[in-house]
Structure 1
């Protein structure tokens, strides 16, 4: 019995470690579990503790010597993996003066999320209706409010605007109107249309700002992953006739600031990690179409007049390497654009999707002050 129990615990610990360190290209479920383990790493203290108890039991039982050492080593490894992400998050929080809440950490992975106040159709393009979910603050104000325009992730071919609900309570409680925008997904290829859909949405918000008590001069684009790419591309290419609004209007689509989470900024570089997806998005391979990839890369549209930008990225991101945001920060610095890069060393792609995770808490701690600095609520 001790032998079987020890073997099972060693196998369980090996599986946990394998998921924790799983590389890019693993099945979606494994990637999802990896993100959960890293955001809620303290949960692994439970198997570490039980394995340690088994190791103590084996030390006094008639089992192979390597099993005694194996269970002890397994307990130690999983214990270290449990403590490292949480410890890293706490160090970052202390260094940046950000709060972390253990009670929030112990809540369900995904709790109740609010429904939008309204859903409207802001455009119909090539037979496709584009909608916007609008989340309004509960308290009334006679003054125009700033608005955050949210763009979901999903590799340009999936995802939905409902992802914005994860941020709705946080933003509306601070007095911001949150508007989640649709954009067309591939297939067919949408590289030359999705940025225009975003600009169409920006223009619609500006044209209807008075109806929702919004100040059109205080709009912030906020995107995650593919949405972060489109947020930066639309913001930095405002006025560029090569990437026009899908609505056919040449009106102003500038924004006050941009927030981008774990997004590729250089599609030429990103093609080395995700060539097939980019072929679907752009409609062409990189070979022979480098100019197209550069046109659709936010990094090539940065100039002195680019809006202030907040970049957040996981240091262990296996989907979009953290170098993507580091290169964006370097280019923004080159042109003197106000910006901030916040890297979570332990975090995977999508670190903010879990309601109580330290990644979400740290992200909120950076997003709130950034919004107040560049699109303040009066």
Structure 2
């Protein structure tokens, strides 16, 4: 039995998501979705008509003030996943007063993780430039991710050069919410190769240890890194638990008051499925973290 990341959505998870989508469509309607927006220009030679898209979920209720923005990055072991599976997260966030953006990005084996990180950075740059059009506050922009998406969210938050490559000399991300994140230190993980089948991760990460380090958020943390919320399931994969503990310890050593919350009884997949329920602990903390009740910037 595998002890690391799930590679594809199992049939039972896919069914659960389909049921969840049907339910949220019926009951979580205080939002409007703008679907399949291209965040890479269609004239770009690298443009992918499926993967370079995002959806924006905005509260229907208009206010005189701009709302916080959360960009959600899906997981799937860097080789699977789709924004359409996670509309329940977009709607739940919008229902609670947040402008949510759920993105696609290219996957292995078509590209490796550095290209995935670039895609996510381009999506965040687009959101920083356009979120006000949907009632979002670009000065309160946060990223969130589960599994592989958590690792990518952490990388975008900590690696300022990654955002600078796409027209953001000042990183617009104000903080990150990591839900059972994978890939926080792939440099350490891939050098050890402790688990059966680990060589499969050389497809998305390649064989160059220097690249493994380049895409590992652990090595970009500084005293000036934005804050993190970090959640781990008590029954998740040992590698995720261990790397998250190391990540939290490094944040603490750098002066960040970032506590890792271990959620009892939760395995890796339920850590994201719980986001269907709007009153779970992650949403409760997230709303305070992003300042959903604050109104510092008037809408134009």
Query: Could you say which TM-score interval applies, normalised by the shorter chain?
Result: 0.7 to 0.9
Structure 1 residues 278 and 254, CA gap change in structure 2 (3 angstroms): farther
1:197-216 matches, within 5 Å, as 197-216=119-138
Q: Is 1:323–2:242 an aligned residue pair?
A: yes
Q: Is 1:304–2:283 an aligned residue pair?
A: no
Q: Is 1:252–2:170 an aligned residue pair?
A: yes
Write the distance in 2 (CA, Å) between the matches of 1:137 and 1:324.
36
Report the counterpart of residue 24 of structure 1 in structure 2: 3
Structure 1 residues 257 and 322, CA gap change in structure 2 (3 angstroms): same
Deviation above 6 Å: which 4+ runs of structure 1?
A: 25-33
SS at match of 1:338: coil
1:191-270 matches, within 5 Å, as 191-238=113-160, 240=161, 243=162, 248-264=166-182, 265-270=184-189
Structure 1 residues 282 and 24, CA gap change in structure 2 (3 angstroms): closer
Structure 1 residues 193 and 326, CA gap change in structure 2 (3 angstroms): same
Instruction: State the aligned residue count.
Output: 275
Write the distance in 2 (CA, Å) between the matches of 1:231 and 1:168.
16
Write the distance in 2 (CA, Å) between the matches of 1:263 and 1:363.
21
8 A contact 2:233–2:265 mirrored in 1: yes
Write the distance in 2 (CA, Å) between the matches of 1:375 and 1:324.
28
1:56-205 matches, within 5 Å, as 111-114=22-25, 117-119=33-35, 120-124=37-41, 125=44, 126-129=46-49, 130-205=52-127
Write the distance in 1 (CA, Å) between the matches of 2:206 and 2:215.
12
Higher normalized helix content (fraction of residues): 1
8 A contact 2:174–2:226 mirrored in 1: yes
Give the superposition deviation at 1:183.
Answer: 1.4
SS at match of 1:228: helix
After superposition, give the CA deviation of every residue in 1:191-216 in whole Å (9 maximum; x if it has no partner): 22111111111111111132112111
Question: Which is bigger in relative contact order (C-alpha 8 A, separation at least 6)?
Answer: 2
Report the counterpart of residue 41 of structure 1 in structure 2: none
TM norm structure 1:
0.65
Structure 1 residues 29 and 306, CA gap change in structure 2 (3 angstroms): closer
8 A contact 1:352–1:363 mirrored in 2: no
SS at match of 2:89: helix
After superposition, give the CA deviation of every residue in 1:246-289 in whole Å (9 maximum; x if it has no partner): 7x4344333111011111211023333463343111222xxxx3
Query: Comparing 22-31 with 155-164, which one deviates more in the overlay?
Result: 22-31
SS at match of 1:252: coil
Higher normalized strand content (fraction of residues): 2
Write the distance in 2 (CA, Å) between the matches of 1:133 and 1:308.
25
Give the superposition deviation at 1:164.
Answer: 2.7
Write the distance in 2 (CA, Å) between the matches of 1:369 and 1:25.
27
Write the distance in 2 (CA, Å) between the matches of 1:29 and 1:204.
28
8 A contact 1:189–1:282 mirrored in 2: no
Write the distance in 1 (CA, Å) between the matches of 2:6 and 2:65.
49
Structure 1 residues 363 and 258, CA gap change in structure 2 (3 angstroms): farther
Structure 1 residues 146 and 25, CA gap change in structure 2 (3 angstroms): closer
8 A contact 2:71–2:100 mirrored in 1: yes
Query: Which structure is larger by alpha-carbon Rg, 1 or 2?
Result: 1
8 A contact 2:20–2:88 mirrored in 1: no
Write the distance in 2 (CA, Å) between the matches of 1:165 and 1:26.
22
8 A contact 2:88–2:276 mirrored in 1: no
1:13-52 matches, within 5 Å, as 24=3
Equivalent of residue 209 in structure 2, options 266, 284, 290: 290
